[in-house]
Structure 1
Amino acid sequence: MTKLVKPVIDQVWLLRWWHRHQAQRLNREADAIRNGLLQDLFAVRRQLELLPGSGGLAAVEHLYQALDALGNRLSSPYLHDSLPLAIQQALADWPPQVPTRAELPSHWPAEPVEHTLLLLAVLNHLGQALAAQPSLPQVCAVSLTAGSDGQRLTIAANYASAVPPALLELDQSEAWRAYLATFDLFSQGRASSAHGATTLRWAFVW
């Protein structure tokens, strides 16, 4: 007997499912690198250290660091455990010419993997975009708070004299608006931006 599968009508639900599925897949791949390949390489490195004149040690060390960085790009090692630690690691990977200041709580309730991955993607995109501007911020302040209106991630780029016009144009770019709309859709929250004379601020509330 043939059983017909009822087609999915709710497209929003379907998009959320695919995003969650992809986030979990990337996380599994990153865990496989950290718990498999990196552990094997660590054992090889230890064996080479014990051999006299082990010229291959530098190559193994380079490969180890490359795999470690790849795993972290695929999925933060803190994805399951701590959103504040995942944000802290993401900011550490920002271009060094963009100074940051983070105000992150030491304790935070567990977030869905796909939600944390989306926030980290937003941070990564923003860090690269700020670094590409003709003038750099004095500091980019990042804070994570919880209140009566829900959880909030705030990112504020502060400039010495004025917010660069190119950055205001970036804030209206197709790619950035897509990030904001994706956050709204997948988190069922809301993303917004506002700017003053010397500060451009983004807020993500869920």
Structure 2
Amino acid sequence: MTELPNPTSQSAQLLRWWHQHQTQWLIDEADTIRNGLLQDLFAIRRQMELVAGEECAGLATVEQLYGALEQLCDRLSSPYLEESLPLALQHGLNDWPAQVILKVELPTHWSPEPIETVSLLISMIDYLGQTLATLPTPPQSCMVQMAESGGAKRLTLTISDHLDLPSSSIDLCQTEDWSNYLATFEVLTRGKAGCTCDRTAVVLQLVW
């Protein structure tokens, strides 16, 4: 019988493999819906228009189902996941909560990125947005910036306010969930994650 590697000594490698495996599985599931169910619904809608006209009562239901499935696909896997990190992030930020003003500085060109890295970063920013929106006193704004130079890539998230930030925003980096996200980023990308804060801003920086 073949002896398996020691899981403890290879935990980081196993985690990276598992995350890549799961990301690819979600891509495949989303593609199945986009190329199957969504196409079928589009064909059904077209047939209903031809037979009963645009006033057909069932058209609204079909359109609602189409929209719900399309949103499900996007949650499973961004349509830009394999194309470009800036495009995938821009698409993901369409659902940013209105309670916090979003400012974005994304480059036009970006080096190819592993799909699991893109998926993780989208998940982190989505979690940040939802977390900020549910704080008792949300901060005024959040800026998302990306830069690439000298072989290093950098994603900076700056949470700020004109006045002093509420303590709930300042304490964000200390929460268990966010600490786990930052640690997971370091393991999966072999990068570095840092958080600095003062009375008016919290800066989260991811470098890989």
TM exceeding 0.5? yes
Quote the offset at 1:135 in angstroms. Answer: 2.1
Q: Are the counterparts in 1 of residues 195 and 205 from structure 2 also a CA contact under 8 Å? A: yes
- Per the alignment, do residues 122 and 155 of structure 1 end up closer, same or farther by CA in structure 2, a change over 3 Å counting? same
Any gaps of 5 or more consecutive residues in structure 1?
A: none
Q: String of CA shifts for 1:127-172, please: whole Å, max 9, x gaps.
A: 0011011223332110111023610011101112111101222321
The amino acid that maps onto 2:2 is: V
Percent identity between matched residues is: 47
Deviations 1:51-73 (A, max 9, x none): 32421100000000000000000
Cα deviation per residue 1:10-54 (whole Å; 9 max; x = unaligned)?
A: 221111111110111011111111121111111111111223242
Compare 97-106 and 184-193 and name the one that shifted more.
97-106
Q: Distance in 2 between the 1:84 and 1:12 partners? A: 26
Q: In 1, are the aligned partners of 2:196 and 2:203 still within 8 Å (CA)? A: yes
Residue in structure 2 matched with residue 8 of structure 1 by the alignment:
5
Which of the residues 142, 162, 165 maps onto 1:163?
165
Q: Could you tell me the TM-score, scaled by structure 1's length? A: 0.94
TM-score (norm 2): 0.93
Q: SS in structure 2 opposite 1:63? A: helix
- Letter of the structure 1 residue corresponding to residue 32 of structure 2: A
Q: Is the 8 A contact 2:139 2:169 kept in 1?
A: no
Residues 149 and 82 of structure 1: is their aligned pair in 2 closer, same or farther, counting only changes over 3 Å?
closer
2:202 corresponds, among 189, 200, 203, to 200
* Separation (CA, whole Å) in 2 of partners of 1:47 and 1:55: 13
User: Take 2:151 and 2:24, find their aligned partners in 1: how far apart are those partners?
Assistant: 28
- How much has 1:5 moved relative to structure 2? 2.7
What is the root-mean-square deviation of aligned Cα atoms in Å? 1.2
Q: State whether residues 137 and 160 of structure 1, in contact with CA within 8 Å, keep that contact through their aligned partners in structure 2.
A: no
For residues 118 and 19 of structure 1, what CA distance do their matches in structure 2 show? 9
Deviations 1:95-136, CA, capped at 9 Å, x for gaps: 122211111111112211111101011001100011011223
Partner Cα separation in structure 2 for residue 138 and residue 164 of structure 1: 10
Query: What's the counterpart of residue 124 of structure 1?
Result: 126
Listed as ranges, the matches of 1:87-102 within 5 Å are 87-102=89-104
Partner-residue secondary structure (3-state), 1:100? strand
